[in-house]
Structure 1
Amino acid sequence: MNKHEDQKKALEQAAIDIFLELYNVNNEVPLRMVQQQEKPDALLEDARNNRIGLEVTHLFYDTEEARLMLSRSELTKPSVEGIDTFIKVINDRIQSKEHKFKDYSHDYPCMLLIRNLSLLFGMSDILGRKRNLVLPHGHFTQVWLLSRDFTPDWLLINLNEVGRGGMK
């Protein structure tokens, strides 16, 4: 494995660990990791021995975000255009993962975990634009968003359960 692959696996493992910690605190039937793998990235199992795959994707801090951060003051909220562009990135990532789904193991259902590593956009920004999110069409059983909201704490929500056009 090359250095890039090692870094990718380490990022995936960190996301899986955070996901499992938060998921297990908030759900009656806990999950544990069976193995890290490819397509999907992890094989999980619940306490009833039901297996489920977990595909992990990251939204990275990028050069455009760095430019935006450097050009604004600390107290200025990101522009509507900036948030809408970020939502488009999320939608494109979901669509890309959904397209690749046909190459995954279909021996068990599969969930998608989106880990937001952006320093410019947090959970509240994404939820504020949830009506613009385009979720997969049934390939993934659940789509989870793991994000901070300008605090050190990670938050986990199931995007399938977030009401469209209004908070639940």
Structure 2
Amino acid sequence: MTSDIHHDEQGKPLSHSESEKRRLEREAAKFFMRAYEKQFHQPMRHIWHNQPAKPDISCFLNGEELDLEIAHLYASEQEARIAAGDNPPPAAADQYQGEEHFWAYLADLASMESGRKLHTALQRILTSKARKRYHSNRVWLVIRNASPLWQHDDFLPIVRHLVLPPHHFEQIWLLTDFNGENPLLRLGPGYQGC
């Protein structure tokens, strides 16, 4: 585990794309933790990155270790390329079983109506992340909206109708805006919409 986004646990430099992936994960975790504390008045502290067998980020919730798997929600190929510094985002390419498949998927999304596009993109992330297994006692999935196309109110009618595949996440949360300023939405059992 390390809190450095530019070096691995042995102090070796990470590639630009891996550092950028860590930066985005760390930023999403920070915004999520801040929003969670504000909304539920429970302290979430400290952030560190994990090796691939564990979820992306670890922290403490009320003094107990909690792992966070971070996913970013994009509406288009252009958004993903901009966020990744014009390189395919490694985590996203991973999610969609190969870089070519990921870019083709984003191109398909572009032709859909906005509500259908949002539903499809969320469902795709949920299905992909549900297939993963982690070395963790407690893991939450945090999905961060990285698209200016969708606002908080766009998610409300969509999330009620998502079909969650069988998964190993203790909880699934949605940051509906890039900076975590809107209330969090919890998906699945215990759905909490604002």
* Interval containing the TM-score (normalised by the shorter chain): 0.7 to 0.9
C-alpha distance 12-80 of structure 1, shift in aligned 2 (>3 A): same
Which residue pairs with 1:124 in the alignment? 153
Letter in 2 for 1:31: M
Which residue pairs with 1:40 in the alignment? 55
TM-score (norm 1): 0.75
**More deviation in 152-161 or 137-146?**
152-161
1:43 shift after superposition: 1.2
Confirm or deny: 8 A CA contact 2:75 2:147 kept in the other structure.
Answer: yes
Unaligned runs of 5+ in 1: 67-78
Match of 2:129 among 89, 92, 97: 97
Partner Cα separation in structure 2 for residue 122 and residue 56 of structure 1: 19
The list of structure 1 runs, each at least 4 consecutive aligned residues, that deviate by more than 3 angstroms after superposition, is 63-66, 151-155
1:109 shift after superposition: 1.0
Partner Cα separation in structure 2 for residue 61 and residue 80 of structure 1: 10
1:152 shift after superposition: 8.8
Count residues with an aligned counterpart. Answer: 148
Confirm or deny: 8 A CA contact 1:33 1:42 kept in the other structure.
Answer: no
The 5-angstrom pairing of residues 46-85 of structure 1 reads: 46-47=61-62, 49-63=63-77, 81-85=113-117
Partner Cα separation in structure 2 for residue 127 and residue 30 of structure 1: 26
Letter in 1 for 2:154: D
Partner Cα separation in structure 1 for residue 75 and residue 160 of structure 2: 23
Looking at secondary structure, tell me which structure has more strand per residue.
1
Match of 2:185 among 148, 151, 157: 157
Which residue pairs with 1:6 in the alignment? 19
Which residue pairs with 1:115 in the alignment? 144
For 1:47-93, what per-residue CA distance to the aligned partner results, in whole angstroms no more than 9, with x for missing partners? 3x321110000012524779xxxxxxxxxxxx983311221111111
SS of aligned partner of 1:127:
helix
SS of aligned partner of 1:158:
strand
Partner Cα separation in structure 2 for residue 61 and residue 118 of structure 1: 6
